[in-house]
Amino acid sequence: MTYRTQQKITRICWIIGLCALAIPFVFPFIWMLSGALKGQADVFSSASLIPSKIHWSNFSEIFAYQPFARQYFNSLYIAVLVTGLTLFLASMAGYALARLRFSGSALVLLLLISALMMPEEVTIIPNFFLMKKLGFMNTHMPLILLPLFGSQGVMATFLMRQFFLALPKELEEAGRMDGLSRFGVYFKVALPLSRPALSAVGIITFLFSWNLFLEPLVFVNDIELFTLPLALANFTDTYGLPLWHLQLAATALAVIPMLIVYILAQRQIVESFALSGVKG
């Protein structure tokens, strides 16, 4: 056997191995699509992935069952808002902690770092009463404020600081020479240079908000105010039995657009993680 063929065989083995490994990652999506097009009784009774009859009506029934479009929009606007605000506030704070010397900055940093890993479960109970006092119960405010100022916001600040630390200072000094204010340097010089970090942090923050489950569960009552994760868990009939076919169809509607965006932007996403130094 020549070295060449040997290498070829190794390569084929690798690919077969990876394909096998990919099954549990890919099959759920295929099964979801198949289930989304089946009738309620069919979801389990038939093992076939191809529905015996295609029920496109599942997709319209979702919208009759609950205000799914509104819920979709809720998730989307909250995630966009949280991401935008987090990027702005976290990059500003991160910039100050990396570049500006001021007494107390070390203390602020320490405070933030100690909260870096704290899950929201730790503070959810007092936050429940705080939100009640502020009149934010059954509104979207907790879903915006808690990620922004909780561990996710802190994480974003910390990552931005790490990125700015690694950024060469020269360009900013040139900006100072041109008479830009501190804010001007941050906004006009540093921020444009930190696009990879911003997009990596932005992606993480967006996903965090998009996936948020505990907070909506605790803070939101009205079905019109539900976010997608809550809405997906809410496809049950009168007596609490899941409406599998609708649940799967709704899940498909929630997942597919994200998958498409991801596939289109996958190279940039991986690159931004590589360039941002989100690795410590």
Partner 1 sequence: MSTIMIKRLICAAVFSGTIATNVNAEELRFTVWTGSKAHLDMLNDIANGFKQTHPDVTVRYDTIPFGDYVQKLTLQMAGGNPPDLGWLLENSAPAFVEAGALADVSKTLHATENYNYADFSTSAMGLWTKDDSVYGIPFSTSPFLVYYNKSLYDAAGLETPDQRATDGTWTWEQLKKDAATLRNADAGVWGYETVDGQGYSARVWHNLIPIIRAYGGNAWTDGTCHLDSPEAVKAIKLFHNMIYVDGSAVPPGEQGDFFSGKSALTVTQISRVSKLADANFDWGIAPLPAGPAGNAATVGQAAVVAFAQGKNKEIAAEFLAYMTSAKNVAKMAEFFPPARKSVLEGDAFLSSNPAITPAQMKIVAQGIENGSVLPSHEHFPQIEAKARPEFDALWSKDADIQATMTKLCQGIQPLL
Partner 2 sequence: MSAAIKGPSLTLKAREAISGWLFVSPILTGFMIFFVGPLIAVFYYSTTEWNLLSQQSHFVGIENYVDALTRNDTFWDVLVNSLVFAAGLVPLNMLLALGLALALSRSVRGAVFFRTVFFAPVITSAVAWAIIWTFLLQHESGAVNRALSVIGINGPNWLHEPHWAMASVIFTRVLKTVGLNMILYIAALQSIPRDYTEAARLEGANGWEIFRRITWPLLAPTTLVIMVITVVGSLKVFDHIYLMTGGGPQNATLVLAFYIYEQGFKFFNTGYASALAVILFVLILALTILQTILKAARK
The single residue among 29, 32, 33, 40 that binds partner 1, judged by CB under 8 A, is 40
Radius of gyration of the chain (CA): 24
The binding track of 169-208 with respect to partner 1, each residue x by CB under 8 A or -, is ----------------------------------------
Helices (H), the chain: 3-36, 42-45, 57-65, 68-99, 105-115, 124-134, 141-149, 151-166, 170-177, 182-184, 191-193, 195-211, 214-219, 228-232, 244-276
3-state SS, residue 221? coil
Q: Least CB distance from residue 222 to partner 2, whole Å?
A: 17
Between vectors from CA 83 to CA 93 and to CA 96, what angle results, nearest 5°?
Answer: 10
The single residue among 2, 3, 221, 279 that binds partner 1, judged by CB under 8 A, is 221
Q: Least CB distance from residue 163 to partner 1, whole Å?
A: 24
* Residue 189 per-residue DSSP state: I
3-state SS, residue 136? coil
Q: Least CB distance from residue 131 to partner 1, whole Å?
A: 8
Q: Least CB distance from residue 257 to partner 2, whole Å?
A: 10
Q: Least CB distance from residue 194 to partner 2, whole Å?
A: 14
| Among partner 1, partner 2, none, partner that 80 touches (CB below 5 to 8 angstroms by kind) | partner 1
The single residue among 5, 107, 239, 280 that binds partner 1, judged by CB under 8 A, is 239
3-state SS, residue 128? helix
Q: Which of 254, 249, 258, 256 has its CA nearest to residue 35?
A: 249
Asked if 7 touches partner 1 (CB under 8 A), the answer is: no
Whole-angstrom distance, CA of residue 201 vs CA of residue 92: 13
Piece of 10-18, 86-94, 138-146, 162-170 that binds partner 1 (CB under 8 A): 138-146
Contact 41/264 with Cβ under 8 angstroms? no
In the region spanning residues 47 to 106, those forming contacts with partner 1, defined by CB under 8 A, are 65, 73-74, 77, 80-81
Asked if 123 touches partner 1 (CB under 8 A), the answer is: no
The residues binding partner 1 (CB under 8 A) are 40-41, 44-45, 65, 73-74, 77, 80-81, 128, 131-132, 136-141, 144, 218-219, 221-225, 234, 236-241, 244
